Structure 1
Amino acid sequence: MQENLDQEVVLEAQVQTLRAQVEALQGQLDQDRGTRTGPFRGRMHNALLMLSGQEAEEVVEVEERLRAEVEEMEEDLSRQTTLNGFSISSCSAKTVHNSSGGVVLQYLLSGSCSVLIFQVEFCLSEVKGQQSSDRTISQLNIVLDSADCPQLSSFVSGVEQSLDLLLLFRTLRRFSLRSEERRTTFQHFQEKYPSIVSLPGGCRSEVMNLHHPQLPGCALILSWSLEVSVGGAVTPHIHLLTKIPETALQMDRVGAVGGAAESFQSLRRLLGTEAALESLVLALSQ
């Protein structure tokens, strides 16, 4: 996964570089056909050298070739995004230090994983040895923009201390998958049983309410939270709570209501979460 993510970051940077080259080329064409190639290097430098005195057909050929490279890299980036579950919206790097002994680059990476929007800033130092180079990460700063941030705050603080980027991206992926599993389950039951199931906070909330159509004031509340450990483990906690008026509890001589939570957990262990919820909803609908 780390290799795929590295490829995605590199592709995003290359796509943005080529886009900038195409725009700069077009701007140079609009201004003149001179030989002002000084600020450009690589493909852009060669392209502008060609433009100085060449025919319009060759100019168009250069521009089309650059655009084709952009499209090819965008396709590669799209495949990497589908594979990893990450979408990189921007990636920039600037040189902080450069000498014969090594180089320090400062990276700013922005993107998303499902509904988790992140921004990661760090310095990558490369010290050149006789046979190999040693790379280290420092000054790691992580910003998450999501309603689920409170559950990830302790984990993020730990990653900023440990400088473990691989752990960060692996955990964001796991958390997103668990969140999506909860969302699809809640949405499925709300759409299938609208008279019984309600979602006060929407499909992405942690709570599902179950009401008996003929028993107003009585409800079962499903709490489905996600815990993220400092080590990156994502653990779901699913509990059934009861909201029953005192008069109804007094009439429950066999303890059916009081034992609902324990019975639900037994069903979950035997059938799984979705099947246990299905059985619970069907029992309420009778």
Structure 2
Amino acid sequence: MEENMEENMEENVEENVEENKEENMEENMEENVEEVVVMEAQIKCLQAEVAALQQQQQQNDRNTREPCRGRMQDALRYVCGPRGGGAGGAGGAGGAGVLSRLREELQEMERDLNTQTEMNGIRLSSCSSKTLRCSGSRLQQICLTGCCSEISFQVEFSLSELQEAQRSERTISDLNVVMDGSDLHDLSSFLSGVEESRDLLLLFRTLRRFSERCDDRRRAFQHFQEKYPAVVSLPGGCRSEVMTLHHPQLPGCVLLVHWSVEVSRGGGVTPKIDLLTKIPERALQTDSSGAAGGAADAFQSLLRILGAEAAVESLVRAVSA
């Protein structure tokens, strides 16, 4: 009896275990099916969103390309003009005509540029511009580099243009001028004033006048050195401000012609020539007439009567006599 009871209990336990396994498997399968259904629904939603985004992107591309294509066609139509009859020979002739007109315009611009360069002495080597647009206005950041005679310059400024109805107003701001050359200490005050006033016309006009006066001094110094090599010397070169005069038979006695070009803050350019003397004390003691002491004032009188080059010429001849 006991053995039969034990066997029946074991069989019941095994049957319960099997039934529990089957129930768990069915529940897991139902849960998995539900998850698959949810994931499929999410995938379909994502696919629909991707398709909508792709369609919107294509529409945006069309909206961007069509205005650009229209503007390009308008520009070509403006350059080429109305086309004639056939597309063959007439089209080729029209293209050749356009190139010919453009070549003539380019040559004319080059001639104008050369003429302007000869007139004002300013040569531009590069010009860069960056345009920034905002509501109702346009801002250009411009950088110019070039030279005027022996002076190299770089000019940076901002040009803003405000459009109002049928008129536009341009203003210059953030002007910065950098120069490289000799005698620039005479320009320091002027450049500070120009950067404050932002007067580009005054800048280039004064730079041309200053360079012309410096070239006049260079030519004069070079002329006197070549004509009177035994008396005239240029320690700093022909572009320096100082020319020395000394007679071989008067050692220690030196006259210095200091020729500067002053530029006022308002752009006035004025040559200034002074005579400085370097004479030994012993020679001054023998100068009973005081000629050495009055040499500077006498030279200023010559300048007022004869002008710069003629006064310097008279001084050189007096020293070399």
TM-score (norm 1): 0.76
- The aligned counterpart of 1:13 is none
- The aligned counterpart of 1:282 is 317
- AA aligned to 2:279 is I
- Give the CA RMSD over aligned residues: 2.7
Aligned partners of 1:158 and 1:41: how far apart in 2? 46
Deviations 1:64-88 (A, max 9, x none): 6655543332122101111222111
- The aligned counterpart of 1:178 is 213
- AA aligned to 1:223 is H
- The aligned counterpart of 1:84 is 120
Q: CA deviation at 1:199?
A: 0.7
The 1:260–1:54 alpha-carbon spacing in structure 2 relative to 1, beyond 3 Å, is: farther
The 1:40–1:189 alpha-carbon spacing in structure 2 relative to 1, beyond 3 Å, is: farther
**What SS does the aligned partner of 1:152 have?**
helix
Report if the CA contact (8 A) 2:79-2:98 is conserved: no
Match of 1:247 among 267, 273, 282: 282
The structure whose residues are more often helix, as a share, is: 2
- Aligned residue pairs, count: 245
Report if the CA contact (8 A) 2:263-2:270 is conserved: yes
Deviations 1:209-246 (A, max 9, x none): 01112112211100111222211112222110111111
- The aligned counterpart of 2:133 is 97
Deviations 1:236-284 (A, max 9, x none): 2211011111111111111111111111111111111111111111111
Give the greater-gyration-radius structure (CA).
2
- The aligned counterpart of 1:145 is 180
Larger deviation, residues 62-71 vs 273-282: 62-71
Percent of aligned positions with the same letter in both sequences? Answer: 60
- The aligned counterpart of 1:168 is 203
Report if the CA contact (8 A) 2:144-2:155 is conserved: yes
Report if the CA contact (8 A) 2:162-2:170 is conserved: yes
Larger deviation, residues 59-68 vs 129-138: 59-68
**What SS does the aligned partner of 1:177 have?**
helix
Deviations 1:24-60 (A, max 9, x none): xxxxxxxxxxxxxx999957x978xx9xx989x8788
Mapped pair 1:128 → 2:166 = no
Match of 1:256 among 279, 286, 291: 291
Unaligned runs of 5+ in 2: 1-70
Q: CA deviation at 1:112?
A: 1.5
Unaligned runs of 5+ in 1: 1-37
Aligned partners of 1:54 and 1:200: how far apart in 2? 73
Mapped pair 1:231 → 2:266 = yes
Mapped pair 1:214 → 2:249 = yes
Match of 2:232 among 181, 192, 197: 197
The 1:135–1:256 alpha-carbon spacing in structure 2 relative to 1, beyond 3 Å, is: same
Which has the bigger relative contact order, CA under 8 A and spacing at least 6? 1
Aligned partners of 2:214 and 2:75: how far apart in 1? 44
Aligned partners of 1:98 and 1:122: how far apart in 2? 18
Aligned partners of 2:109 and 2:75: how far apart in 1? 17
Aligned partners of 1:270 and 1:208: how far apart in 2? 21
The 1:141–1:239 alpha-carbon spacing in structure 2 relative to 1, beyond 3 Å, is: same
Mapped pair 1:107 → 2:125 = no
TM-score (norm 2): 0.69
